[in-house]
Amino acid sequence: MRSIRAAAVGAVTLSLALAASACGGGSATGGGSGDSPKTLTYWASNQGASIEVDKKVLQPELDKFEKETGIKVKLEVVPWSDLLNRILTATTSGQGPDVLNIGNTWSASLQATGALLPWDGKNFDAIGGRDRFVDSALGSTGVQGEDPAAVPLYSMAYALYYNKKMFADAGISEPPATWDELVETGRKISKDGGKWGLGAEGSNLSNNIHQVFVLGKQHGADFFTADGKPDFTSDGAVAAVKQYVDLMAKDKVVAPGNAEYAQNQSLSDFAKGKTAMVLWQTASATFKSLGMKDDEWGVAPAPVPSGAPGTGKATNSMVAGINLAVFKNTHNRDGATEFVKFMTSDAEQKILNQAYGSIPPVKAAQADPAFGAPSTAVLRETLATSAAALPQVPDESQFETAVGTAVKELFADAAAGRAVTTESVKARLAKAQQQMLAK
Amino acid sequence: MTTTTATARPGARAAGTGTPGAARGGRRPGRLRRIGLPYLLLLPALLLELLVHLVPMVIGIVMSFKELTQFYIRDWGTAPWTGLDNYRVSVDFDAPVGEALLHSFLVTCVFTVLSVGLCWLIGTAAAVCMQDAFRGRGVLRALFLVPYALPVYAAVITWAFMFQHDNGLVNHVLHDQLGLTDKPSFWLIGDNSFIALLVVSVWKGWPFAFLIVMAGLQNIPRELYEAAALDGAGTWQQIRRITLPSLRPVNQVLVLVLFLWTFNDFNTPYVLFGKAAPEAADLISIHIYQSSFVTWNFGTGSAMSVLLLLFLLLVTGVYLFLTSRGRKTADV
């Protein structure tokens, strides 16, 4: 009996000790991010083919930074599926990184939380001035008229990637420049059993948004009114969503199976020669990691109705990209600013953007001949002349979920062989809009 | 047989310690220590329980009365109080948010009834079949418990691969090999997603029912079956007249636990479908997650959680009330 009691007391003590030490460990790692001026915590987004690739790209640069300034940067590469939740948690608890990457479309949403350091004139001066950056990239850093919530780090744009061999096999010499040509090209290729014209990521909410946003521009529609209210059911918006889903439903150039794709399966289909085209942002690095040689694929501007990309209805891409933000709660603001200055310096911009196949949003770096290769030239041209920023409104990330889900459900209808009509599209979009307004 | 003796022992010990305690009733400090010690031993667990379960629950309830959107999450103490607004939005079944919640609730109810029913049926059937010793029983038992022992994420991700439209095993067997469907079906989007979810849930849940019922069966004396067999009762009659009534207390807890787990299940739909579950498989936990984390409206999400909590409390209360009353009358 006594031994049992002793054992029980021992067990309780042990479990208490464990619990206490677990708590201690948690707060130490959580709160220690900026207590010392000689360390910084940096959350990087997953830009390369895998998290390991990112670590290999970034670590040498961070070592360089430590050598220059004596500040040690603790790197954590956060997968996309977790990044926004992690940022929200950090915002709520006040325990976050010092510096972090954000998807540039989240800028306005995160700006509204007040968790990020605003980049006013003084802060911009500390990193070399606002005018070092390209205007289109700065247009995606927060609500217009307010101090940006972040500075541009990598810029990306959508383009049409095509498989040269599949085009040659189907007797196609030129990549399509208009949507009609794209559908025609797609049909020629889709005739062949098991091969399809175009790939899509029907269950990837963000990608759905990027695509229908651009199509919306081409139909003269924005998904938000000028004063930031959701406006999903305008004729243009309905036509845009219908046109995108019709690529599967009516034109049959997208394989029905793509309706459930959400993890870049369309890119591996492309690399395997199952689909001939994808509309994607800066895919070159991914193709390489999937085993495709650079001369096996070609790249052309994404289609527009007129065939000549430009502004307004000739928009053919969103301004995609990654911004670098400083967490307002950092205890090491000077070090964090120093790190942002380093990451946006001309030299680092060249190294990092080349590694990721993206375009530097810093003017001096962008002019470098390294970004003049045909594959990047198309993206650079698109960003400069025919890309538009997604709505910079606080509700943007809710919009991605609500409308992205509506498009996903419509793809599911199309895949199941159910009719996708103007009415069914409008009904889905109306529901999405009501959910936004209900709060 | 070993289990029977093991379960009998604590009862005997409790009786043993009870008698000397009553005999020494006059000595106060000793009695106090005797009564106090169990509470003292419980104290750490109680404190941790408070910290881990109750505090977040209370905070959640407080949150449900606030307008907690992205504008306030940084310092959520400053979020304005909204009274019952979040609840009003959640239960306004004519408006889209309430309608979606109601739909999700109904889907969850149907799903739970089917899943719990099937888990119980399969688990009980398997346990009864394996009541008598035969060669290979141990191996089969271990095999049956594998789904329960696997980490949920790993198991469900495997299922997600198997349910893929183009390369999935399920379509390969049903369509390519057996030719049961005209064309490959979609399991992860559209209406079939409900079936996919149910299959995974039952696959994951029935071993638990099997385990519990199997343990319960060990406690039924063999003599009862022998006597019944002598009286000419067949297998079916033995199951109906002896096995099931003897399992009654076990089943009561089992069904309640399965119900609570299934109704609240988040991992299965989340891993299977991601952040936006198809409408046909929009279970309430993932719906609430989406209402709070994805749309950044934590107040409404909390209100929905509180409603869910109240519903589960109500169901559990009614269930316990009914079953305990049934048991008392049965005992009489």
Residue A404 has pLDDT above 90, yes or no: yes
Contact A92 B188 (CB under 8 A): no
pLDDT band at A123 (very low <50, low <70, confident <90, very high): very high
| Integer CA distances (angstroms), A248 to A392, A412, B272, in order | 30, 10, 24
Provide the total of helices (H) and of strands (E) in chain B, helices listed first.
Answer: 16, 0
- Structural domains for chain B: 100-304 (1.10.3720.10)
Contact B290 A15 (CB under 8 A): no
| Contacts with B274 from chain A: Cβ below 8 Å | 203, 262
Quote the mean pLDDT of chain A.
88
- B13: phi then psi, degrees, rounded to nearest 5: -65, -40
- Do residues A339 and A65 lie in contact, with contact meaning Cβ atoms separated by under 8 Å? yes
pLDDT score recorded for residue A12: 42
CA nearest A20 in B: which residue?
B48
Residue A34 has pLDDT above 80, yes or no: no
pLDDT score recorded for residue A17: 41
| Chain B residues within 8 angstroms (CB to CB) of chain A | 41, 44, 48, 69-71, 73-74, 76, 89, 95-97, 100, 164-166, 184, 186, 188-191, 274-276, 278-279, 290, 293-297, 300
pTM beyond 0.90: no
Which of A16, A114, A397 lies at the smallest CB-CB distance from B296? A397
| Contacts with A262 from chain B: Cβ below 8 Å | 274
Interface test with A, best of B49, B67, B73, B279 (most A CBs within 10 A): B73
Contact B96 A394 (CB under 8 A): no
Helix or strand or coil: residue A327?
strand
Token representation of residue A372: 């003049």
| Contacts with A19 from chain B: Cβ below 8 Å | 48
| Contacts with B275 from chain A: Cβ below 8 Å | 205, 401
Residue A196 has pLDDT above 90, yes or no: yes
- A163: phi then psi, degrees, rounded to nearest 5: -90, 115
- Do residues A380 and A371 lie in contact, with contact meaning Cβ atoms separated by under 8 Å? yes
Helix or strand or coil: residue A301?
coil
| Chain A residues within 8 angstroms (CB to CB) of chain B | 8-9, 12, 15-16, 19, 85, 88, 91-92, 94, 109-110, 112-115, 202-203, 205, 255-257, 259-260, 262, 394, 397-398, 401-402, 404-405, 408-409, 411-413, 415-416, 431, 434-435, 438-439
| Contacts with B294 from chain A: Cβ below 8 Å | 398, 401
A255 CB-near residues (< 8 Å, 6+ apart):
A196, A199, A248, A269, A274, A275, B166
Cα distance between residue A131 and residue A362, in whole Å: 9
Cα distance between residue B61 and residue B71, in whole Å: 20
Pick from A219, A263, A250: which is nearest to A237 by CA? A219
Instruction: Encode B232-251: b = buried (16+ Cβ within 10 Å), e = exposed.
Output: ebeeeebbeebbeebbeebb
Cβ-based contacts under 8 A for chains A and B: 101
Cα distance between residue A170 and residue A160, in whole Å: 17
pLDDT score recorded for residue A227: 85
- Do residues A117 and A333 lie in contact, with contact meaning Cβ atoms separated by under 8 Å? yes
Residue A163 has pLDDT above 90, yes or no: yes
Cα distance between residue A256 and residue A245, in whole Å: 11
ipTM score here?
A: 0.79
Token representation of residue B195: 């079936």
- Structural domains for chain A: 33-155+320-388 (3.40.190.10), 158-318+395-437 (3.40.190.10)
CB-side neighbour CA atoms (13 Å) of B19: 5
Question: Measured on CA atoms in the order A347, A349, A354, A360, is the torsion positive or negative?
Answer: negative
Say how many C-beta atoms besides its own lie within 10 A of residue A59's C-beta: 12
Pick from A35, A34, A57, A28: which is nearest to A45 by CA? A57
Cα distance between residue B300 and residue B193, in whole Å: 26
Distance from CA of A376 to the nearest CA of B (A): 33
Q: Low-confidence residues of chain B, pLDDT below 70?
A: 1-30, 32-33, 294, 326-332
A418 CB-near residues (< 8 Å, 6+ apart):
none
Contact B97 A115 (CB under 8 A): no
Say how many C-beta atoms besides its own lie within 10 A of residue B54's C-beta: 11
pLDDT score recorded for residue A8: 45
Contact B276 A394 (CB under 8 A): no
pLDDT band at A438 (very low <50, low <70, confident <90, very high): low
pLDDT digits (tens, 9 = 90+) for A322-334: 999 999 999 899 9
pLDDT digits (tens, 9 = 90+) for A235-248: 999 999 999 999 99
CA nearest A434 in B: which residue?
B96
pLDDT digits (tens, 9 = 90+) for A43-70: 999 988 788 989 999 999 999 999 999 9
CA nearest B101 in A: which residue?
A435
- Do residues B234 and B247 lie in contact, with contact meaning Cβ atoms separated by under 8 Å? no
pLDDT score recorded for residue A176: 96
pLDDT score recorded for residue A30: 38
Which amino acid appears at position A343 of this protein?
M
Helix or strand or coil: residue A156?
strand
CA dihedral B247, B250, B251, B252 (to 10 degrees): 130
CA nearest B279 in A: which residue?
A409
- The full DSSP string for B219-263 is TS-HHHHHHHHHTT--HHHHIIIIIHHHHHHHHHHHHHHHHHHHH
pLDDT score recorded for residue B327: 62
- Do residues A259 and A433 lie in contact, with contact meaning Cβ atoms separated by under 8 Å? no
CA nearest A402 in B: which residue?
B295
Contact A94 B74 (CB under 8 A): yes
